[in-house]
């Protein structure tokens, strides 16, 4: 089994395993928050490209679907959610589930989804067996136990296949917080090359419960079926003014940091007073309004965007992205771009509530090799029905430290160091 250096996978522990990360992991900030390391690895797309796989078709990076079991709320009684194949994600954090007989897991902290799932030992797909697996086979179905299977199932459709399994309840420990009786997914099917090659074990959703793939009404009243962060809040482990988390995504090979309940001023330019806040336009994803996007004299106004830690790219409506790439690179949606354009392509500027946030070509042209001969655009086309929706991934979030304030329903941006 090939395991990238520093990643914990199934049967053996290498340097920087989740257990080792947890041992050195969370620290308490001076204002009472908790910070944990965000481990950076090469994206799955880049790993597969280095092995000779064709990964230039980027339009499959996102999928719109109706999750199994959704029958309440939303337009026409149906909820919809954006589900990604995580080919471009490269940031992971450790979580611990269950008692000492279970292992720790390396998961993607994903602000674009709302569920926690990890592989079950009842899954025989290579996507499961090559990663840390939860001992789901040992769980009973009795809610009298601290860990049990609920008898309910979940299914999420990804670009490379369906991830499906059962829903269990146990204690989840994250960043020094412990949430008892938490509902989480045990994946019993993980088909496709994405899960096999991935460095992560599972997904930790950090969006709002309204886009969860399971419904609160399906569980007993004492079960936390919402996101882990909402579980921390409901168990009164956070004061109201601290109901926030912030991401610093390390650059130039450095790991990042996820801080819950505070902002680490050592990781930003200026102080907390310099954070630029914008109200959410929807309590589903971390969705907000952008006044305009400008590039080389061209401007698009009144855009809706999602701050999403689950992808490295910036995705948007096909027509807009084609025009944007045409302006920056001279062709609509190039599979690869000339790395020399890093020094000549124009800046792209987002105006958010009256303040400009600039991305240079150095930041939105992604280099895949050490020689500087293989580069690609970070702008990728994605259409969600008739919605003109953009996804701001790590290309933007790496430059601008982002605070997700659950209590105030706001996002805060400030330049990272």
Catalytic residues: 110, 308
C-alpha–C-alpha distance, residues 243 and 112, integer Å: 18
**How many other C-beta atoms are found inside a 10 Å radius of the C-beta of residue 122?**
18
Q: Phi, psi (5° rounding) for residue 61?
A: -75, -15
Helix and strand tally (H, E) in the chain? 8, 25
C-alpha–C-alpha distance, residues 217 and 215, integer Å: 5
Strands 116-119 and 177-189: parallel
Question: Residue 94 burial (CB < 10 Å; 0-12/13-18/19+)?
Answer: buried
C-alpha–C-alpha distance, residues 262 and 307, integer Å: 18
Residue 357, C-beta contacts closer than 8 angstroms, at least 6 positions apart: 349, 350, 351, 396, 400, 413
User: Under a CB-based contact definition with an 8 Å cutoff, are residues 307 and 286 in contact?
Assistant: yes
Q: Token match 């007993």: residue?
A: 220
Residue 169, C-beta contacts closer than 8 angstroms, at least 6 positions apart: 143, 147, 148, 149, 150, 181, 182, 183, 184, 219, 223
Question: Residue 73 burial (CB < 10 Å; 0-12/13-18/19+)?
Answer: exposed
């Amino acid at each position: 089994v090939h395991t990238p250096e520093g990643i914990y996978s199934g049967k053996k522990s290498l340097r920087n395993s989740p257990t080792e990360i947890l041992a050195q992991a969370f620290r308490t900030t001076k204002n009472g928050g908790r910070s944990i390391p965000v481990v950076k690895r090469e994206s799955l797309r880049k790993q597969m490209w280095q092995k000779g796989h064709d990964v230039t078709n980027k339009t499959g990076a996102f999928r719109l679907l109706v999750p199994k079991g959704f029958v309440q709320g939303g337009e026409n009684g149906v909820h919809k959610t954006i589900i990604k194949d995580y080919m471009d994600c490269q940031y992971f954090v450790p979580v611990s589930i269950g008692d000492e007989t279970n292992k720790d897991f390396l998961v993607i902290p994903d602000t674009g989804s709302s569920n926690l799932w990890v592989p079950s030992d009842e899954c025989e797909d290579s996507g499961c067996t090559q990663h840390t697996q939860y001992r789901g086979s040992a769980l009973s179905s009795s809610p009298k136990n601290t860990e049990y299977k609920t008898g309910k199932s979940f299914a999420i459709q990804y670009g490379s296949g369906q991830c499906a399994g059962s829903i269990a309840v146990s204690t989840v420990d994250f960043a020094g917080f412990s949430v008892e009786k938490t509902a989480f997914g045990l994946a019993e099917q993980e088909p496709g090359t994405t899960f096999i090659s991935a460095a992560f074990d599972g997904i930790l959703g950090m969006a709002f419960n309204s886009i969860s793939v399971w419904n609160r009404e399906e569980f007993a009243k004492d079960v936390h079926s919402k996101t882990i962060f909402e579980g921390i809040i409901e168990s009164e482990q956070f004061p109201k003014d601290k109901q926030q988390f912030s991401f610093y995504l390390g650059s130039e090979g450095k790991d990042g940091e996820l801080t819950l309940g505070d902002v680490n001023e050592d990781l930003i330019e200026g102080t907390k007073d310099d954070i630029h806040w914008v109200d959410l336009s929807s309590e589903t994803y971390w969705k907000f309004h952008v006044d305009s996007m400008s590039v080389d004299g061209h401007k698009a106004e009144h855009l809706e965007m999602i701050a999403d830690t689950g992808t490295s790219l910036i995705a948007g409506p096909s027509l807009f992205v084609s025009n944007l790439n045409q302006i920056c690179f001279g062709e609509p949606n190039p599979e690869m771009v000339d790395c020399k354009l890093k020094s000549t392509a124009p800046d792209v500027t987002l105006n958010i509530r009256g303040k400009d946030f600039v991305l240079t070509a150095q930041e939105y042209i992604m280099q895949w090799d050490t020689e500087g001969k293989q580069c690609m655009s970070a702008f990728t086309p994605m259409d969600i029905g008739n919605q003109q929706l953009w996804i701001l991934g790590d290309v933007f979030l790496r430059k601008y430290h982002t605070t997700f304030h659950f209590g105030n329903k706001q996002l805060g941006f400030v330049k990272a160091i």
